[in-house]
Amino acid sequence: MNAPVPELEARAAACADALRDARRVLLASHIDADGLTSAGIAATALERAGVPHDVVFSKQLDDEEISSIAAHDHDTVLFTDFGSGQLDAITDHEDAGEFTPVIADHHQPADADTRFHLNPLLEGVDGGTELSGAGAAYVLARALLGGDATDLAALAVVGAVGDRQTVDGELVGANTRIAEEGVEAGVLDTAKDLALYGTQTRPLPKLLEYASEVYVPGITNDENGAVRFLDGLDLELHDGGDWRTWADLSHDERQTVVSALVQRAVRNGVSGDDVTKLVGTTYTLADEEPGTELRDASEFSTLLNATARYERADVGLAVCLGERGEPLEAARELLREHRRNLSEGLSWVEREGVTVEDDLQWFHAEDRIRETIVGIVAGMALGSDATESDRPIVGFGYKNDEETKVSARGTSRLVDRGLDLSAVMSEASQAVGGDGGGHTVAAGATVPRGREQEFLEEVSDVLAAQLSA
């Protein structure tokens, strides 16, 4: 069977050999959906390969965290969904003989290298859109197990979707080849369908009311309008008095709703580009129960995001490893809490407003928004009427008594103009004694408390150079 990402085959093989030779592996991973699926894939692969291992999670891989990881009694450390950007610090521990690092990541590498480093950016593959951290972990799993790893492609797709790697409604590049392996393995289904969040679990009126992907006047953010729209269709959309979900509908019923929704959007002046966003490629996990969060890659990734952001990465990992029952119920309760906090966070930003400057806009939530969700709130705010759409947004939240968490979000249009938030966060944070990185369109940093204004000045300088080029 051909390798899913031929460009990375040699690196993956070397990393796999290092893991097979290890006495005991410490698997260290990031805590978001991409990091949790990365850990799920890697842990499953290590288990199947008979490699003894333990798992730890980190919000951010800084010098202190790497030192803590080095203190574990493991001869090999496998970093998934982070590690590349911290290579300089990691190799210091490697040079000291504390552990052998193996890295499966997709973030921008630091100016250092190690023998066992699997990253698409090192071979000309875009780590922002073509291969996620979970995708890199999958490539490594395939090198370890061959065809016995292809069922893990579904988790890799969940990670890619959770990392916002869809382009015009579908995965591209290496992610597409991984999805194809999932389809061939019978664990994934792909189809052109309504591209709104919540097709598995939300009652139809809520699906349309809450849809943020495309604003349709008279339906979006309008509960009564969504109900009137659905009642006007010649369909039976109730089941025993309750509204059905999108997953309950037949193909013909779905076609009827999509057609009417497109007509309503066009009639109300929605642009052609936005109308096309109503339909995209959906990724369905074939082995999961229909009508649950785990059935849809987007809903699955949101569920995972909710677990680790509330210090329960163990719950998210358990779900990724196939446990249901109590872990799944715990994840669902965390998701409910997560949604409440996001809603309250966005309301706070809308109420307090943002500070708009020449090349950026920002808000400082202090301790009013959890630092683990400041980035999500910033992204939601960037798509709302509370902010400007022509410049990136920076959100601050207190991490502890000494540090402030920074999250930055942009748009694909700004990236086309030259925006690279990974570089912005890295350069500006280092200038004030912090650390940062990420992707072109979404990145983060940790900076010393009290130096936020100085940090913003550095951000402004880097942005001005990028966006004026």
pLDDT per position as a tens digit, 309-349:
888 999 999 999 999 999 999 999 999 998 899 999 999 99
CB of 27 closer than 8 Å to CB of 53: yes
342 CB neighbour count, 10 Å cutoff: 18
**Positive or negative: CA dihedral 194, 197, 200, 204:** negative
In a domain, 189, yes or no: no
Per-residue pLDDT tens over the stretch 9-29: 999 999 999 999 999 999 999
Tell me the three state secondary structure of residue 334: helix
Residue whose token pair is 């008095």 = 241
Residue 43 structural domain: 6-180
Shared domain for 31 and 148, answered yes or no, is: yes
Shared domain for 262 and 311, answered yes or no, is: yes
Per-residue model confidence (pLDDT) at position 214: 82
Number of domains in the chain: 3
422: CATH: 3.10.310.40
Shared domain for 17 and 136, answered yes or no, is: yes
In a domain, 185, yes or no: no
Per-residue model confidence (pLDDT) at position 311: 86
In a domain, 187, yes or no: no
- Long-range contact set of residues 412-420: C-beta below 8 Å, sequence gap at least 24: 412/441, 414/390, 414/441, 414/467, 415/440, 415/441, 417/467, 418/466, 418/467, 418/469, 419/392, 419/463, 419/466, 419/467, 420/466
Per-residue model confidence (pLDDT) at position 469: 62
Shared domain for 416 and 276, answered yes or no, is: no
8 pLDDT exceeds 80?
yes
Per-residue pLDDT tens over the stretch 338-371: 889 999 999 999 999 999 998 999 999 999 999 9
In a domain, 23, yes or no: yes
Per-residue model confidence (pLDDT) at position 14: 97
403-409 sheet: strands from edge to edge: 355-356, 361-364, 393-398, 403-409, 442-448, 435-438
With vertex at residue 365, the alpha carbon angle to CA 450 and CA 419, rounded to the nearest 5 degrees, is 85
Per-residue pLDDT tens over the stretch 149-189: 999 999 999 999 999 899 888 999 999 999 999 999 999 99
Tell me the three state secondary structure of residue 332: helix
For residues 43-61, average pLDDT: 95
Measuring CA to CA, how many Å separate 167 from each of 130, 357, 407? Answer: 9, 29, 22
Q: How far apart are CA 364 and CA 446, in angstroms?
A: 14
Residue 289 DSSP class: P
In a domain, 249, yes or no: yes
Burial of 277: CB neighbours in 10 Å, binned 0-12, 13-18, 19+: middle
User: Across the strands, what pairs with 55?
Assistant: 27
Per-residue pLDDT tens over the stretch 74-112: 999 999 999 999 999 999 999 999 999 999 999 989 888
pLDDT grade for 73, boundaries at 50, 70 and 90:
confident
Shared domain for 238 and 381, answered yes or no, is: no
